[in-house]
Amino acid sequence: MTELLKVDNLRTYFETERGTVKSVDGISFEVRKGEIFGLVGESGSGKSITGFSLIGLLDANGKVQPGSSVKLEGREIVGLPDAGAAQDTRPRHRDGLPGPDDDAEPGHQDRRPDRHGDPRP
């Protein structure tokens, strides 16, 4: 089975007044479909910054370094324009159900079932 997410040599550095902080410095892992993945480490070891790097939510002084690779379903997502990764990977309308964009119209009512499976009024 191919991996859903493949992170290869991810490095994320922050530029600060006191120099470069290498928060993530060469982490590699992969997550396959249906797999539950846990990232463990002491406080400050870079768990959150790893996650933020994947979804493009770093503070302005942070940068994923060249040579880092993050592939989602085989597609490289590092370096997409701001927040592009998150936008571009929204679920597609594979099931024929309304998707996120369908609610964009003002006044449009969400008729999808609520979380209990009951139709909304």
Ligand X SMILES: Nc1ncnc2c1ncn2[C@@H]1O[C@H](COP(=O)(O)OP(=O)(O)OP(=O)(O)O)[C@@H](O)[C@H]1O
From the list 12-20, 32-40, 48-56, 88-96, the region that binds Mg ion by CB under 5 A is 48-56
User: Which residue's entry shows tokens 């493009």?
Assistant: 56
Assign 103 to helix, strand or coil: helix
Among 48, 65, 69, 89, binds ligand X (CB under 6 A): 48
Among 5, 30, 45, 63, binds ligand X (CB under 6 A): 45
What are the two backbone dihedrals, phi and then psi, of residue 2, each rounded to the nearest 5 degrees? Answer: -80, 155
Q: How far is the CB of 40 from ligand X (least distance, A)?
A: 9
Assign 74 to helix, strand or coil: coil
Question: Does residue 16 bind ligand X (CB under 6 A)?
Answer: yes
Our CA angle for 68, 90, 103, nearest 5°, is 150
Interface residues with ligand X (CB under 6 A) are 14, 16, 21, 23, 41, 43-49, 59, 61-62
